[in-house]
Structure 1
Amino acid sequence: MKTLDFGQTVITLAALLLAANTAPQAPAPAPAAPAPVATVPADPALWVVKDKDTTIYLFGTVHALKPNLSWFDSAVRKAFDASGQLVLEIPLPTPEQAQKVIGPLAMDPTGPTLTQKLPEKSRAAYAAALAKLGVPAAALDRFEPWFAAVTMSQISLQKAGYSAADGAEMALDAAAKAAGKPVTGLETLEQQLGYFHDLPQADQIAFLLESVKDLDKFDTTINAMVDKWKAGDAEGLSKLMNEDLTGQKNLYKVLLVDRNARWADWIDSRMKTPGTVFIAVGAGHLAGKDSVQAQLAKHRIVATRIRY
Structure 2
Amino acid sequence: MKNTLTAAAAALALALPLPACAQQPATKAAASQDADPALWVVKDKDTTIYLFGTIHVLKPGLSWFDEAVKTAFDKSDEVVLELVMPDPTTMSGLVKSTGLAAPGTPPLIEQLPAAKRAAYAKAVADIGLPANAFDRYRPWLAATQLSVAPLSKTGYDSANGPEEVISQAAKAAGKPVIGLETAAQQLGYFASLSQPAQVEFLTSTIDELPTLGTTMQKMVDDWARGRPEALADELNDSLKDSPEVAKVLLVDRNKRWAKWIEQRMQKPGTVFVAVGAGHLAGNDSVQAQLAKDGVKAVRVKY
Fold match, TM over 0.5? yes
Code of the residue aligned with 2:159 in structure 1: it is A
* 1:66 pairs with one of 59, 62, 67: 59
Identity across matched positions, percent: 51
The aligned counterpart of 2:271 is: 277
User: Is residue 179 of structure 2 the alignment partner of residue 185 of structure 1?
Assistant: yes
* 2:293 pairs with one of 288, 299, 307: 299
The aligned counterpart of 1:128 is: 122
**CA root-mean-square deviation:** 1.6
Listed as ranges, the gaps of 5+ residues in structure 2 are: 1-8
* Deviation of the 1:101 alpha carbon: 1.4
The equivalences for 1:175-254 within 5 A come to 175-254=169-248
* Deviation of the 1:12 alpha carbon: 4.9
User: Is residue 16 of structure 2 the alignment partner of residue 43 of structure 1?
Assistant: no
What is the SS of the residue equivalent to 1:96? Answer: helix
User: Is residue 72 of structure 2 the alignment partner of residue 87 of structure 1?
Assistant: no
How many angstroms apart in 2 are the aligned matches of 1:296 and 1:244? 24
What is the SS of the residue equivalent to 2:240? Answer: helix
* Deviation of the 1:14 alpha carbon: 3.6
How many angstroms apart in 2 are the aligned matches of 1:14 and 1:7? 14
The aligned counterpart of 2:12 is: 3
The aligned counterpart of 1:15 is: 22
User: Is residue 129 of structure 2 the alignment partner of residue 117 of structure 1?
Assistant: no
- Whether the 8 Å contact between 1:12 and 1:164 is mirrored in structure 2 is no
Code of the residue aligned with 1:5 in structure 2: it is L
- Whether the 8 Å contact between 2:57 and 2:161 is mirrored in structure 1 is yes
How many angstroms apart in 1 are the aligned matches of 2:87 and 2:166? 16
Aligned positions, number: 290
- Whether the 8 Å contact between 2:15 and 2:277 is mirrored in structure 1 is no
User: Structure 1, residues 221-268: CA drift from partner, whole Å, max 9, x if none?
Assistant: 111111101100011122223421111110001100000000000001
What is the SS of the residue equivalent to 2:201? Answer: helix
User: Structure 1, residues 75-125: CA drift from partner, whole Å, max 9, x if none?
Assistant: 000000000111000112221221121111011141111111111111111
User: Is residue 113 of structure 2 the alignment partner of residue 158 of structure 1?
Assistant: no
| Structure 1: 4+ residue segments shifted above 4 A | none
* 2:70 pairs with one of 64, 71, 77: 77
What is the SS of the residue equivalent to 2:137? Answer: coil
What is the SS of the residue equivalent to 2:13? Answer: helix
The aligned counterpart of 2:4 is: none
* Deviation of the 1:37 alpha carbon: 5.4
- Whether the 8 Å contact between 2:49 and 2:270 is mirrored in structure 1 is yes
How many angstroms apart in 2 are the aligned matches of 1:234 and 1:15? 26
User: Is residue 45 of structure 2 the alignment partner of residue 52 of structure 1?
Assistant: yes
- Whether the 8 Å contact between 1:5 and 1:282 is mirrored in structure 2 is yes
How many angstroms apart in 2 are the aligned matches of 1:6 and 1:205? 19
How many angstroms apart in 1 are the aligned matches of 2:64 and 2:131? 39
Code of the residue aligned with 1:297 in structure 2: it is A
Listed as ranges, the gaps of 5+ residues in structure 1 are: 20-32
User: Structure 1, residues 172-215: CA drift from partner, whole Å, max 9, x if none?
Assistant: 01111111111101111111100000110100111111111110
* Deviation of the 1:141 alpha carbon: 0.9
* Deviation of the 1:38 alpha carbon: 5.9
The aligned counterpart of 1:106 is: 99
How many angstroms apart in 2 are the aligned matches of 1:189 and 1:238? 25
The aligned counterpart of 1:170 is: 164
* 1:258 pairs with one of 242, 252, 256: 252
